Structure 1
Amino acid sequence: MNGPPPSPRELAPWSALGVLALGLAWQLLALRLGPLLMATPLQTLRALVTLMGSEAFLHHAATSLLRVVLGVGLGIATGLALGLLAGRRPRLRALLEPLRWLLMSVPGVIVVVLAMLWFGMGSAMVVFIAVVLLAPGVYVNTLKGLLLVDPGLLEMARVYRFGRWRRLRHVVLPALAPPLCAAFLIATSGGVRLVVMAEVLGAADGAGFALANARSTFDSGELYAWVVLVLGLVALLELGLLRPLQSRLTRWQDEADGRRGAVRGGGDA
């Protein structure tokens, strides 16, 4: 018989073990490849301390952070809004389907090339790429979750004259919690990667530009220092933003499940 799932505190040692394993693999691979191709963790740490004390660091870091916030935020907001509207309006859903297919089928490199032609090098190009490539995934997850909402619950909400906000909070959001949590996680981590990739290919500042510059000068220590900073940003967004949001959404889902159980129990009685 399966017991209750382990708590995050019980799993923490295993996560720490995974981090140590990655660090050990990094060290061994760096020793094999040599300092020109891969810096060791200690060399990366030294370069990270030097980098964070430089004047250019704040400019590049702040520029990339602003682009991530705008690109990921607009991508999630666009996909979420269109998904909510399309879920309730079949004609709009049919109208958006060709665009959804196009954006999810076109290779990302084509979007990058077109964005560079249309917007040139800079923040507008980077944010456009992030929005175009992130919004379809959020749209699909939102739409599929919305289509799984129990029609009986929606009808009950209408009978009891729930306003739009109450229907959204007590009926729609609990059903959307699992797909939305997955979509937000994928969009956030993927958005950071897209922003850095776009900066590497066509920007004059930002973390991606600094990465490309370190690669061109064969400064592996600085290159891997920027990689660590990007990974740290993803971890910060996941632990500081997505985990609390996931906790809030799942709490709504638990509350909705409890209310449905109470209604069914009252009906059986």
Structure 2
Amino acid sequence: MLVAHRLFPTPVVVFGELYDLAAHGSLIADVTKTLGRAVLAFFAAMTMGVVIGGALGRFAWADGLFGNWILIGLNIPAIVVAITCYIWLGLTEFALILAVVINKTPLVAVNMREGVRALDHGLAELAKVYRVGFWRRVNKFIIPQLMPYVLTAARTGLSLIWKIVLVFEVLGSDGGVGFRIGIFFQHFDMKGILAYTLAFMAVVILIEYGVMRPLEHRVLGWRPARN
């Protein structure tokens, strides 16, 4: 407020720009496109990560063969994966989503591997003694123990996927929040950059408190509350 410069726009100017962009429709269209990409990449990475992590945690030979590849996947720079996918597949929607999935799947796999390793085998033996059916064992014993790890992977992966999708959109896409911020950057338009940032922050906070927190409370409500 004290500086009030073109490169340091006031909150009033930023909110005014946010309203104008939303009124013209470009903001909503870009946010929707970015969210769609993030959601697709999120569910693909979660599905693949859960399967891979479960296999690595369950079978020691699989972890011995592929554990180092998970470590490599965790540490390959995201920008390298994005550029490689763009060179191989072109500046396509599939290349962008594939690059995000490749970056985030190892993170989910590591969480699930630790979750499977931490399963209480005593409960499994107890279920066998009482002749509990397989699917009932999975539903009542295994899934509740794994859900904290799944939710941790989901929250961590989601927070990183937002950022990575935006960076990849700056590198090459036909729309989205990152694409638009890249255009604003070329024109040194700070009010546009901050307006899009505020809009995306609002969406992320809405998903956190409207989806993730209620889901966590519902799924993990059986656990005793911490003092």
Q: TM-score, normalising length from structure 2?
A: 0.90
Q: Provide the secondary structure at the position in 2 that maps to 1:251.
A: coil
The answer for the alignment partner of 2:210 in structure 1 is 240
- Correspondence for 1:48 among 14, 18, 22: 18
Where does residue 152 of structure 2 map in the other structure? Answer: 182
1:252 shift after superposition = 4.3
Deviations 1:168-193 (A, max 9, x none): 33222332233332221111111111
3-state SS of 1:53 partner: helix
Do residues 65 (structure 1) and 35 (structure 2) align? Answer: yes
| Matched residues, number | 224
**Aligned-pair Cα RMSD in Å:** 1.9
Distance apart, 1:43 and its partner CA? 1.2
> 2:56·2:67 contact (CA, 8 Å) conserved in 1?
no
Contact 1:173 1:249 in 2 (8 A): no
Given candidates 114, 120, 125, the residue that maps to 2:90 is 120
* Cα separation, partners in 2 of 1:138 and 1:164, compared to 1, 3 Å: farther
1:177/1:253 contact within 8 Å kept: no
Structure 1 counterpart of 2:152, one-letter code:
A
Say which SS state the counterpart of residue 36 (structure 1) adopts: coil
Deviation of 1:199 after TM superposition, in Å, equals: 0.4
The aligned counterpart of 1:192 is: 162
User: Equivalents in 2 of 1:125, 1:37: separation in Å?
Assistant: 34
Q: Give the Cα–Cα distance (whole angstroms) in 1 for the partners of residues 98 and 155 of structure 2.
A: 20
AA at the equivalent of 2:56: A
Share of identical aligned residues, percent?
28
Deviations 1:109-155 (A, max 9, x none): 21121121122223212211221111111111111011111111112
Q: In structure 2, do the counterparts of structure 1 residues 204 and 193 end up closer, same or farther at CA, with 3 Å as the change threshold?
A: same
Are the counterparts in 1 of residues 170 and 182 from structure 2 also a CA contact under 8 Å? yes
- With a CA cutoff of 8 Å and minimum separation of 6, indicate the structure with the bigger relative contact order: 2
Partner amino acid, structure 1, of 2:124: L
Match of 1:151? Answer: 121
Q: Name the counterpart of 1:208.
A: 178
Q: 2:73 aligns with which of 86, 97, 103?
A: 103
Largest Rg, 1 or 2: 1
Q: Give the 3 Å change call, closer, same or farther, for CA 66–208 of structure 1 in structure 2.
A: same
**In structure 2, C-alpha distance between the alignment counterparts of 1:69 and 1:90, rounded to whole Å:** 32
Single out whichever of 201-210 and 167-176 deviates more from structure 2: 167-176
8 Å Cα contact 2:27-2:196 kept in structure 1: no
**Take 2:183 and 2:132, find their aligned partners in 1: how far apart are those partners?**
57
Structure 1 ranges of 4+ moved more than 6 A:
none
Q: CA deviation at 1:92?
A: 2.4
- Structure 1 counterpart SS, 2:220: helix
Which deviates more from structure 2 when the two are superposed, residues 205-214 or residues 91-100? 91-100
TM-score by length of 1: 0.77
1:135 aligned partner: 105
d(CA) in 2 for partners of 1:92, 1:86: 5
Unaligned runs of 5+ in 1: 1-26, 255-269
Of 180, 199, 207, which aligns to 1:229? 199
Which amino acid in 2 is paired with 1:97?
G
- Do the aligned residues in 2 keep the contact of 1:83 with 1:139 (CA within 8 Å)? yes
Q: Check whether the contact 2:123–2:141 (CA below 8 A) recurs between aligned residues.
A: yes
Which residue identity lines up with residue 168 of structure 2 in the other structure? A
Give the CA deviation at 1:234: 1.4
Aligned-residue offset at 1:253: 4.2
